[in-house]
Amino acid sequence: MTLIELMIAVLISMIMSIAVLSVMSTFEGRRRTVGSASDLEQTGSLAMFQVDRWLRSAGTGLVQGNSYTYGCKLFATSGATQLLPLTGALPAPFATFGENSTSTTTYRLAPVVIVSGGTTPAISGKPSDVLVVMASGNDGSQAPTLFSGVPKATVLTMSNTTEFAPGDLMLLADQQPEASGGPAGCLVSQVATTATTTGITTSLPLGGNYYAATVDTRSVINFTGDGVGIDLGGTSGIGTSLPPSFQIVGVGDSNTLFSYDLLGLTSPALQAQAEGVFEMHAVYGVDSTGSTSNVIDSWVDATSSSAYAADKLTDGSAGASKLIKNIRAVRVALILRTALPEKDVVATASTLTMFSDLGSALTLTRTLTTAERHYRYRVIETTIPVRNNQY
């Protein structure tokens, strides 16, 4: 073989190698495109399923006492640890949600509260909304049980005790409002495991890990004879009822949707729920007239200028309680993003638009930087009825 023939053979080999590499590169790019789209589909389905599950259960077992419980300040303890009011900051991404930290957030009873810009995920660097969702785990707990006398520190005298099971969590509330007209504080307590709740009995002993005679400034003996007990369900899901769900939901670092259990019934309390979630945004669907028709006549955001801003809904006033009752649905938008950047710009548009059908005042636009456009995005939206907040 001559040198010229050898050089020609090498040249042909190089051309073939370049062609094969080009085909493989194109194939890999298409594979990543298809795989990324598939990953976003799965991520979006999982994340929205979780959000939908929380919101559809919001307010379960709480609506019948809404005239004197919605907006009540929550007091709770677990063993020697005071849970509510918070005594310090929560873990990231909810570190500003402690009543004694940089936030003025006060946890009050409500099916759902949107905290506008409640977290700032590190990857996004932009504000992302947070949902605070509350529900009883006892589907049968539709009517509060009345006290038939002023409670003692360890025993409640009730009109009946058939609603409760030994070891159940319960919410103690008072029909008598505060002097300001707002609802009196609500205390999370627990039925003693030795309690007898079958047959004809009106005495309900308290005890267990979630019982304390006094939590912060709220004591069992401070409730009047007009108090009520609301069954919140069990503590483990074993038996006739599920545990209550008092959750904070928001996007944190690493494009992850997190939840935090305010009552510490899950371990750990902070749970990663879904990956690939870049930001979350939400608005309320309300019946502004407060009628019994349950018809949504307007959509409102939860920004600081809105009457439905989180700090206004949780200020403990009688007016705030009425607004909480007007919430009929929540519109949620999730921005999803792939995990790995691509060589070329793949986001065909420089903006992502949410709530465009709700009018210009509520339409939300997220502008992408040049660096951010090297990732693939998808926006999914859904309207979830807060069915347990209806009259």
| pLDDT confidence of residue 218 | 95
User: Do the Cβ atoms of 206 and 152 come closer than 8 Å?
Assistant: no
**Each residue of 66-98: pLDDT tens digit?**
999 999 999 999 998 999 998 888 999 998 876
pTM of the predicted protein model: 0.88
151 prior amide bond cis, ω within 30: no
| pLDDT confidence of residue 103 | 45
User: Do the Cβ atoms of 336 and 352 come closer than 8 Å?
Assistant: no
| pLDDT confidence of residue 382 | 96
User: Do the Cβ atoms of 114 and 300 come closer than 8 Å?
Assistant: no
| pLDDT confidence of residue 100 | 44
Which residue reads 């360890």 in tokens?
154
**Each residue of 219-266: pLDDT tens digit?**
999 999 999 999 999 987 655 578 999 999 999 999 999 999 999 999
**Each residue of 279-290: pLDDT tens digit?**
999 999 999 887
Laid out side by side, the sheet with 377-385 consists of 298-300, 277-286, 327-337, 377-385
- Token pair of 324 as six digits: 């909480």
| pLDDT confidence of residue 129 | 96
Q: Which residues of the chain have pLDDT under 50?
A: 100-104
